[in-house]
C-alpha cells in the first residue's frame, strides 16, 4: 500500500540535480536514483543555549587548525547508517520499527569525550562528542533497528560502534590536523566548561526515522 501522508513518486520527466556546490561541497554516499529514499534512524538532540555556547567555543578553537570547519545546525546520535528504501517499503519499514521499539523506556547517556571521525569514503571529517556512559542501552536499540534492517535486506549498523553527537564538519579527510594537539585543547574546553557534567548528561525521549523529506517519531516510554 502507498504510505499515508507521503507525496507520490516524482514526475519521471523532472530533472535530478546533484550539484555538490549547493550543499557545502558534500558528496553523496550513494548515487541518487528516482524512487529511492535515503533513510536514517537516530536519537534527536535538542540543543540548549548553554550547549550552543560550548559549541561556539569548540568550533572557534578548532578553526585555528581547520578554518573550513562548519558547526552542525542540528544534532543527533545515529542508530543506523544512511540506507536506501524503495518508496513502497517506507510504510512497512516504519511500522516494523514502531513495533520493535515500543517497549523501550527513556534513558540517560553521558556524551563528554571529544573525538574526530571521518565518513566511510573519507570525503568528510567530523568533530563529535563520544558517549562515555549509556553504551549498553544504545546497543540494545541498535540491535532492534538492525533486526528491522535485516528484514528489508539493508546494511546493519557498524560493528563496535562509537556512539557520538556530531558537532562540526568539513569537506575532505582533515583528521590529521584535528587530532593530537587540537583534540587535547578541545577536550580541555569541554572538561573546564561550567556545568558541563550536567549539560552533557542527555536524556533520550524519542527515536526518529527520516526517510527522504519525511520524519517519523517513536516516543520512548
Q: Is 88 a catalytic residue?
A: no
**Helix spans in 34-157 (H):** 49-62, 90-101, 135-151
Q: Is 76 a catalytic residue?
A: yes
- The DSSP-derived string for 153-174 is T---PPSS---EEEEEEEES--
Distances (CA, A) of 216 to 19, 68, 141, 183, 189: 28, 33, 16, 35, 35
Q: Which grid coordinates belong to 94?
A: 516504519
Give 10's contacts (C-beta < 8 A, 6+ positions apart): 34
Indicate the DSSP class of residue 122.
Answer: S
Give 153's contacts (C-beta < 8 A, 6+ positions apart): none
Query: Which is catalytic among the residues 23, 32, 76, 135?
Result: 76
CA proximity to 209, closest of 219, 220, 221, 218: 218
> Is the CA virtual torsion 115, 22, 208, 88 positive or negative?
negative
Query: Which is catalytic among the residues 32, 40, 88, 164?
Result: 164
Q: Catalytic residue numbers? A: 76, 164
Amino acid at each position: 500500500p502507498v504510505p499515508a501522508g507521503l507525496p507520490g513518486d516524482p514526475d519521471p520527466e523532472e530533472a535530478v540535480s546533484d550539484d555538490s556546490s549547493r550543499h557545502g561541497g558534500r558528496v553523496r554516499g550513494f548515487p541518487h536514483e528516482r524512487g529511492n529514499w535515503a533513510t536514517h534512524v537516530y536519537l534527536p538532540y535538542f540543543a540548549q543555549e548553554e550547549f550552543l555556547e560550548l559549541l561556539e567555543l569548540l568550533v572557534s578553537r578548532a578553526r585555528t587548525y581547520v578554518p573550513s570547519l562548519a558547526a552542525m545546525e542540528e544534532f543527533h546520535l545515529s542508530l543506523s547508517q544512511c540506507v536506501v528504501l524503495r518508496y513502497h517499503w517506507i510504510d512497512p519499514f516504519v511500522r516494523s520499527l514502531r513495533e520493535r521499539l515500543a517497549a523501550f523506556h527513556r534513558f540517560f547517556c553521558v556524551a563528554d569525550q571529544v573525538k574526530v571521525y571521518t565518513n566511510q569514503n573519507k570525503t568528510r571529517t567530523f568533530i563529535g562528542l563520544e558517549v562515555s556512559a549509556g553504551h549498553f542501552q544504545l546497543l540494545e536499540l541498535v540491535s532492534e533497528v538492525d533486526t528491522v534492517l535485516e528484514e528489508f535486506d539493508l546494511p546493519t549498523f557498524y560493528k563496535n560502534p562509537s556512539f557520538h553527537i556530531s558537532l562540526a564538519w568539513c569537506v575532505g579527510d582533515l583528521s590529521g590536523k584535528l587530532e593530537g594537539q587540537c583534540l587535547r585543547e578541545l577536550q580541555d574546553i569541554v572538561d573546564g566548561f561550567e556545568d558541563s557534567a550536567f549539560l552533557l548528561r542527555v536524556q533520550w525521549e524519542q527515536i526518529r526515522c527520516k526517510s527522504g523529506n519525511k520524519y517519523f517519531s517513536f516516543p520512548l516510554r
